[in-house]
Amino acid sequence: MLHRHRWLTPYLLLAPGLAWLAAFFLVPLGILAYQSLQSGTFDFGYQFSWELYNYWDALSRYKAHLIRSFVYAGLATVLALLVSYPLAYWIAFRGGRWKNFFLLAIIAPFFVTYLIRTLAWQNILADQGAVVGALRDLHILAPDGRLLATSTAVVAGITYNFLPFMALPLYVALEQIDERLIEAAQDLYASKTKAFLRVTLPLSLPGVFAGTLLTFIPAAGDFINAQLLGTPKQHMIGNVIQSKYLELIDYPAAAALSFVLMAAILIGVAAYSRALGTERLTG
């Protein structure tokens, strides 16, 4: 009996989980699309009317927020890469038998609740805090200069919060590199720098690619860092979506903005993977 219907087994295994994802992930996206084309107000109700104007309105009114989101997310991704690459390299090639311990230290921030570690940055960067005091004494910061409530604080917070997403894939890619390849390059008279640029770096590109996407996507949609470490001047597209949905109850505009965010991320990811090239990734 069971054998006659073997072809059915995988579908039976898949059904409950995929049904859940269809009902609570795919269908909601469809409803979001539907809602983004509605017109009307909360008091008098919304009607579906192919209101493409919502998109035009969202784009023109919140262009600054959208651009800011991508600039902040881009900066945070580059900073995370600059911090993580040497760190991942050091663990992969110099970590020795303590590799797992150092790896644990990299993901340790994830064990502190997201909001609490962001509040810790609020604490570190506060006007009364030691960092601001030291920078003022060193005249790097003006006597009334601040760190909290600036773009710097928001970008620093985003960088910190998503850094493990960058560091882990980098480590995995670097760890897999056969060190004999690097030795071979040096035997063939490549300088250390050249061996790195021609052997190690290209082999680690898949890790760079994965890490960049894993960092950039959540960073572009984030609103917590801008809320806790910035002011309305630093607000990103996520802040706008959040307040339109939960405070202003302007659903069509919020839905349209969500789709603009998703589309912009998809276009960015496609352009990025094209620029980096899968051919160069596989050598």
Q: Scanning residues 42 to 101, which ones bind other proteins (CB under 8 A)?
A: 83-84, 86-87, 89-91, 94, 100
Burial label for 9, CB within 10 Å (0-12, 13-18, 19+), is exposed
CB of 90 to other proteins, least distance (A): 4
Q: Which is nearer to other proteins, 126 or 141 (CB)?
A: 126
Contact status: 132 vs other proteins (CB under 8 A): no
Q: What is the dihedral of CA 124, 127, 129, 132, to 10 degrees?
A: 90
Evaluate whether 225 touches 158 at the Cβ level (below 8 Å). yes
Q: Which is nearer to other proteins, 6 or 283 (CB)?
A: 6
Residues 6+ apart with CB under 8 A from 198: 185, 190
CB of 213 to other proteins, least distance (A): 7
Q: Supply 243's token pair.
A: 């307040």
Among 1, 4, 17, 143, binds other proteins (CB under 8 A): 17
CA distance 47 to 160: 43
Among 92, 106, 170, 208, binds other proteins (CB under 8 A): 106
Which residue stretch of 57-65, 111-119, 199-207, 275-283 sits at the interface with other proteins (rule: CB under 8 A)?
111-119
Query: How many binding residues for other proteins (CB under 8 A)?
Result: 78
CB of 115 to other proteins, least distance (A): 4
CB of 280 to other proteins, least distance (A): 22
Please, which of residues 213-272 interact with other proteins by CB under 8 A? 213, 217-218, 220-224, 228, 238, 241-242, 245-246, 251, 254-255, 258, 261-262, 265
Please, which of residues 134-163 interact with other proteins by CB under 8 A? 160, 163
Which residue stretch of 26-34, 60-68, 181-189, 270-278 sits at the interface with other proteins (rule: CB under 8 A)?
26-34
CB of 78 to other proteins, least distance (A): 15
Task: Please spell the DSSP secondary structure of 199-241, one letter per residue.
Answer: IIHHHHHHHHHHHHHHHHHHHHH--HHHHHHS-GGG--HHHHH
With CA atoms as reference, report the closest residue to 268 among 46, 77, 8, 49. 77
Q: Which is nearer to other proteins, 26 or 184 (CB)?
A: 26
Evaluate whether 244 touches 250 at the Cβ level (below 8 Å). yes
Residue 244 to residues 25, 63, 140, Cα–Cα distance (Å): 21, 15, 39
CA distance 207 to 88: 10
Indicate the SS3 state at residue 47: strand
Q: Which is nearer to other proteins, 121 or 209 (CB)?
A: 121
Which residue stretch of 137-145, 176-184, 210-218, 272-280 sits at the interface with other proteins (rule: CB under 8 A)?
210-218
